[in-house]
């Protein structure tokens, strides 16, 4: 996949099929759009191009502290895995947000990139104050010699897939629902850092994880079964997200994972954590012994669950 970091880099090719969006999470609905993009490009011998924005437009046009389902690096990895050939990452600034929808289509999409066909989601809005919609895009298509395809929403059971719904599911600890809507397990990347070695004292050494991007959404506090990729190894573990209320030694949320049957030195290493199942809420225990007993139960449940999915 070729990645272009500015509009001037990509070069104009009128024989292009485009899709445009933030694609936060690259969820099941986004995947449907990408599948249609690739299929249309192959059938009509066109260049396929995904146009996305960095940072997330809502962080620029409002004060809302939106949490990301996917960082730019994760988005790139996901789009590449779907077979996208060309990715244009547009630097979304306050100045860029002031462009009207008509200006964006005529002077950027048509004049600088080129388009034979544009595919967008059913709820796609673009341009200043999100003033552009599918009707205006179709009108501009007739004026500028490109066709438009609107992709209907994807539903999973009774849920219409959206990034907002996935964020809410994760914030409620519903990671299995989030996985269904994403078509993959939710994950995040970070670095293993030194903690206070509380887990080692308890007999369950843990790796403390510092998340790379502070805007990345971290699910609800609690205990989870996870799959980790570290040092080219796939390792399973039990992860706690929370404030360690039994010890009351912090008010900051700490992410720590006990890696099962893994005892290598991994301080400073990059780690990818994929969330498989939520076990329980974080809880304050009356004694260290009660906590150890619960951790042992969590570990046994995790081993049983991992055995059921890998055998």
Active-site annotation, residues = 256
Inter-residue contact 1 to 86 (CB < 8 Å) = yes
Structure tokens at 66: 């939106």
| Closest to 71 (Cα-Cα) out of 237, 199, 190, 225 | 190
- CB proximity list for 275: less than 8 A, separation 6 or greater: 175, 179, 185, 186, 187, 219, 224, 225, 226, 239
Tell me, letter by letter, the H, E, C secondary structure of the chain. CEEECCHHHHCCCCCEEEEECCCCCCCHHHHHHHHHHHHHHHHHCCEEEEEEEECCHHHHHCCCCCCECCCHHHHHHHHHHCCCCEEEEEECCHHHHCCCHHHHHHHHHHHHHCCCEEEEECCCCECHHHCECHHHHHHHHHHHCCEEEEECCCEECCEECCHHHHHHHHHCCCHHHHHHHHCCCCEEEEEEECCCCHHHHHCCCCEEEEECCCCECCCCCEEEEEEEEECCEEEEEEEEEECCCCCCCCCCCEEEEEECCCCCCCCCCEEEEEEEEEEECCCCCCCHHHHHHHHHHHHHHHHHHHHHHHC
């Amino acid at each position: 996949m070729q990645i272009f970091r500015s509009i001037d880099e990509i070069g104009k090719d009128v024989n292009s099929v485009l899709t445009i969006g933030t694609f936060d999470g690259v969820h099941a609905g986004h995947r449907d759009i990408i599948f249609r993009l690739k299929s249309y490009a192959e059938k009509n011998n066109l260049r396929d191009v995904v146009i996305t924005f960095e940072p997330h437009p809502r962080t620029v046009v409002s004060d809302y502290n939106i949490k990301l389902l996917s960082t730019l690096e994760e988005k790139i990895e996901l789009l590449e895995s779907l077979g996208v050939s060309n990715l244009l990452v547009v630097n979304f600034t306050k100045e860029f947000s002031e462009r009207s929808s008509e200006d964006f289509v005529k002077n950027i999409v048509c004049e600088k990139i080129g388009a034979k066909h544009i595919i967008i989601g059913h709820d796609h809005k673009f341009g200043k104050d999100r003033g552009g919609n599918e009707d205006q895009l179709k009108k501009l298509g007739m004026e500028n010699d490109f066709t438009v395809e609107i992709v209907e929403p994807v539903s999973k059971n009774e849920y219409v897939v959206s990034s907002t719904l996935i964020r809410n599911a994760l914030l409620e600890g519903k990671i299995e629902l989030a996985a269904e809507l994403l078509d993959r397990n939710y994950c995040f990347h970070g670095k293993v850092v030194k903690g206070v070695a509380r887990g080692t004292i308890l007999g369950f050494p843990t790796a403390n994880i510092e998340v790379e991007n502070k805007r990345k959404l971290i699910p609800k506090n609690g205990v989870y079964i996870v799959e980790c990729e570290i040092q080219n190894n796939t390792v399973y573990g039990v992860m706690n997200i929370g404030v360690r209320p039994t010890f009351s030694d912090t008010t900051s949320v700490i992410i720590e994972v006990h890696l099962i049957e893994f005892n290598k030195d991994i301080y400073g290493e990059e780690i990818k954590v994929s969330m498989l199942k939520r076990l329980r809420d974080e809880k304050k225990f009356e004694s260290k012994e009660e906590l150890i007993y619960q951790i042992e139960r969590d570990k046994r449940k995790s081993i049983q669950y991992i055995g059921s999915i890998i055998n």
